[in-house]
Structure 1
Amino acid sequence: MDAADAREISGWRYEPPYDFYNGDADPDDLAELLDEERRKDVYFSALDEEGDLVGFFQFEKTSETMDVGLGLRPDLTGRGIGEEFCSAGLGFARERLAPRRFTLSVTTFNERAIRVYERAGFGRGETYMHETNVGGYEFLFMEREA
């Protein structure tokens, strides 16, 4: 991901309750996204056939497990393309980074994302409370084989 894509993503605005995912909702995450060194080899831009930015993936590998973060451009959410987007990113990671399994965490209120992840092969794990910059939220841990 280059600096221009990182800046564009940092300005994305989602409708409530998904505004939890706005780039400026968590200053630490925003600083990581905008820092070239911290972003390098972790954040990847997702482009469509015309080369337009449609989303991003964040891949952090520990041992044989790849933790996945992702975001779809706000105007593209809710259009039924989430499973294809998610699967394309996992395919990229599988090919280039060779993990044995994928994990992710998602807020439990984000039911549409949970459905997408389940259709992409993720299974539900434990729920846990996590304190964020905007308050405590319940998260769902999910995983699947690569």
Structure 2
Amino acid sequence: MGYEFMPMTQEQAEEIAYHWHYEGEYAFYDITADEEDLKEFLDPLERGDSHFSVFIEGDLVGFFSFDAKEDGTVALGLGMKPGRTGQGEGILFLQSGLEFADKIYAPKRFVLSVAAFNQRAIRVYERAGFHKVREFIQETNGGHYDFISMEFNRTVESQGEGT
């Protein structure tokens, strides 16, 4: 069972935005929870060529966004189909996304931000080699929330220190 990455189409963006709804506190991650995020996610010009849909055997199971910076950093955004979360698949999903990004961008490091309440995701990121850099408050979803910035330095992995 391998993941297949394809540039995100408008139809896929709309499927994710309007039909993927998470349960409980994870509803925070519904694309429709923040009007600005929704607008950006649905705008093909905003998405550009940095958003990818992820499939298993033709089934849309997730997405990644990659924001490549000139300093060799790639900022990640990602999401899994709601029914697949919490099933132990997160580490393989994340590692597949990192490998895909390595082939395209050859980054020196990856960075991401995660809501501080999402300990499930934080554990996955740490297992993949990310570490916490700082905590900050972010305005989103109509309020102010605690977030954690994490990074994964690729040069450490290349020296045999990573996963």
TM-score, structure 2 length as denominator? 0.86
- Within the candidate set 83, 88, 95, 1:80 is matched to 88
Q: Residue in 2 aligned with 1:42?
A: 50
Equivalent of residue 134 in structure 1, options 134, 142, 153: 142
Structure 2 residue aligned with 1:3, among 7, 10, 27? 10
Counterpart CA distance in 2 for 1:74 and 1:128 is 26
Determine which structure has more spread, i.e. the larger CA radius of gyration.
Answer: 2
C-alpha RMSD of the superposition: 0.9
- Among residues 23, 27, 50, which one is paired with 2:31 in the alignment? 23
**Secondary structure of the residue that 2:121 maps to in structure 1?**
helix
Tell me the distance in 2 between the aligned counterparts of 1:97 and 1:62: 10
Structure 2 segments unaligned to the other structure (5+ residues): 1-7, 155-163
Structure 1, unpaired ranges of 5+: none
Quick one: distance in 1 between partners of 2:137 and 2:78? Answer: 20
* Counterpart Cα distance in 1 of 2:36 and 2:142: 12
Any conservation in 1 of the 2:28–2:141 contact (CA below 8 Å)? no
Deviations 1:39-91 (A, max 9, x none): 1211110111x111000001101121000000000000000000000000011
Match of 1:79, SS? coil
Between Structure 1 and Structure 2, how many residues are aligned? 145
Q: Which residue of 2 aligns with 1:71?
A: 79
Cα separation, 1, equivalents of 2:127 and 2:55: 22
> What TM-score results when the alignment is normalised by the length of structure 1?
0.96
Q: C-alpha distance in 2, partners of 1:36/1:129?
A: 28
Match of 1:124 among 132, 141, 157: 132
Runs of 4+ in 1 over 2 A off after TM superposition: none
Matching of residues 103-122 of structure 1 within 5 Å: 103-122=111-130
